[in-house]
Amino acid sequence: EAKRAGRGRFRVFEDGMDAALRDRRELEIDLRRALALKQFSLHYQPFIDLQTERTIGFEALIRWDHPVRGRVTPADFIPLAEETGLISKIGEWVLRTACATATTWPDEMSVAVNVSPVQFKSDNLIETIVSALAHSGLPAHRLEIEITEGALLEDTSNVLKTLHALRDLGIRISMDDFGTGYSSLSYLQKFPFNKIKIDRSFVQGADEGGDNEAILKAIAGLGLSLGMAITAEGVETPEQLARIRGEQCTHVQGYFTGRPMPADGIATFLQA
């Protein structure tokens, strides 16, 4: 009896595995076709200078509108795109589209583009970026590249080479989601970032004071003394905004100051 129940459970588990694998295979097949079928779009979220209270740029965030599944979030397909190598073509499309769109904005506004760790380590990253700038006519100083610590983990000398090549072109580099995962304060000294984006877990967790507030203060203080701009991510309330002002952050990005929006919403947003 017990044996039979056990076997039954195993079968259910196996069928569950099959379903998950099938689902992943289907998603992969669809992802391969998504570019050609024009299912991707970019949304843009403003970031604001706390001193002047002006929008100084927008971060490009990819969206995938799947004909059956509806909108698939980047967290659900970027890892798959990385595993399958599709990220290089998708990333190239993001860079070209974001740069072209930014040329329609006021001159002083930047566009920030996320580059995943796999993409960051690919041999043709610099070439792709240079080509996107050349095709769009966007000046290099209006492009920011956002990387996460995953891009920094191995092969320090190649990472440094790439970062310096970007800096030499006049492109700015932001450390995204800082404070999560393995990030180490020594990264801030070792790598030439222009900006640190403090992960929203610290910003939102700082409401109650305590450890998160202390960490926020420490990162902002260290970054500033190393000459970097500090963005607080994920600010959703006026209380959080007031707090990060007190912690010497230089920039803010979050639902409170502006949600990600399609490119055609930007002109209206900037008028308001």
Which stretches of the chain bind ligand C2E, using CB under 6 A? Answer: 45, 60-62, 73-75, 78, 91, 94, 114-116, 146, 176-177, 200, 234-236, 254-255, 260
- Nearest distance, CB of residue 202 and ligand C2E, angstroms: 13
Q: What is the dihedral of CA 35, 107, 163, 185, to 10 degrees?
A: -110
Residues 126-165 that bind Mg ion (CB under 5 A): 146
- Closest CB to Mg ion among 149 and 233? 233
- Closest CB to ligand C2E among 48 and 235? 235
- Closest CB to Mg ion among 29 and 153? 153
Q: Which residues contact 146 (CB under 8 A, 6 or more apart)?
A: 59, 112, 113, 114, 115, 174, 175, 176, 197
- Cα distance between residue 237 and residue 242, in whole Å: 9
- Considering CB distances under 5 to 8 angstroms, the limit depending on partner class, which of Mg ion, ligand C2E, none binds residue 258? none
Beta bridge partners of 196: 175, 230
Structure tokens of 30? 């669809």
Residues 145-157 as b/e (b if ≥16 CB within 10 A, e otherwise) read: bbbbbbbbeeeee
Per DSSP bridges, beta strands 195-198 and 172-178 are: parallel
- Cα distance between residue 121 and residue 115, in whole Å: 10
Residues 160-199 that bind Mg ion (CB under 5 A): 176-177
- Closest CB to ligand C2E among 200 and 243? 200
- Nearest distance, CB of residue 76 and Mg ion, angstroms: 13
- Closest CB to ligand C2E among 61 and 220? 61
Site residues (vs Mg ion, CB under 5 A): 114, 146, 176-177, 233
